[in-house]
Structure 1
Amino acid sequence: MIERDGERLLVKASLLMANARGLLDAGRAAMRPGEQIFDFSQVSEADSSALVVMLGWLRSAPAAQASIRFAHIPTGVLSLAELYGLTELLPLA
């Protein structure tokens, strides 16, 4: 689901409700101290649950002594973030 490539965490699964819990857990397990960039360039499908997963990773980051940024967020997810007023909560890489 998530593969480490240096400081990048490559998300390799669709960000859909059906696998949101698995992605949330995989992202938490992959976090290390320091900066982490979750890269969505290989995500082909995403729904609103992507925002929940991303916010969950952000909430888990302090416990892992990590800071998180996001790269290549799918357009539809960014549109939803704007609609919900969450854009400023999503640090971009």
Structure 2
Amino acid sequence: MIKREAGRFVIEGPITFASVRALLEAGRREMATCDGEVRVDLSRVTEADSTAVSLLLHWLRDARRRGTAFAVLNPPQSVTGLARVYGVAEMLGLPDA
């Protein structure tokens, strides 16, 4: 589920193969109405697999197409670690360590 809170898009629950398609579309709908920076807060993600990285890359691409800044906030270690393995952590603005 995606909720708007204090200028952020907060993802609640799992980001897994089972949930990623619905999250992708819901996020695209929400972010299409955003004029400023897209800030995705992952602090309430309960589980994440490699599809979480794919989801963030899709949203980053969408934001760039619209000329909108994109930021990932509070990524779980699992997402940061996978992004490092895939070589996209820097692209997503995720921490190095």
Q: Deviations over 1:16-63 (max 9, x none)?
A: 011111111111111112112100111110000000000000111134
Structure 1 gap ranges (5+) = none
Taking structure 2 as the reference length, what is the TM-score of the superposition? 0.87
Q: List structure 1 runs of 4+ shifted beyond 3 angstroms.
A: 62-65
Aligned partner of 1:41 among 40, 43, 49: 43
Aligned partner of residue 83 in structure 2, secondary structure: helix
Taking structure 1 as the reference length, what is the TM-score of the superposition? 0.90
Aligned equivalents of 1:44 and 1:24: distance in 2?
17
Asked if 1:27 corresponds to 2:22, the answer is no
Q: Which amino acid aligns with 1:76?
A: S
Q: When the two structures are aligned, how many residues end up with a matched partner?
A: 92
Contact 1:48/1:80, CA 8 A, preserved across alignment: yes
The answer to which structure has the higher helix fraction is 1
Q: Deviations over 1:64-85 (max 9, x none)?
A: 4421100111101111111111
Aligned partner of residue 15 in structure 2, secondary structure: coil
Structure 2 gap ranges (5+) = none
CA RMSD in angstroms comes to 1.3
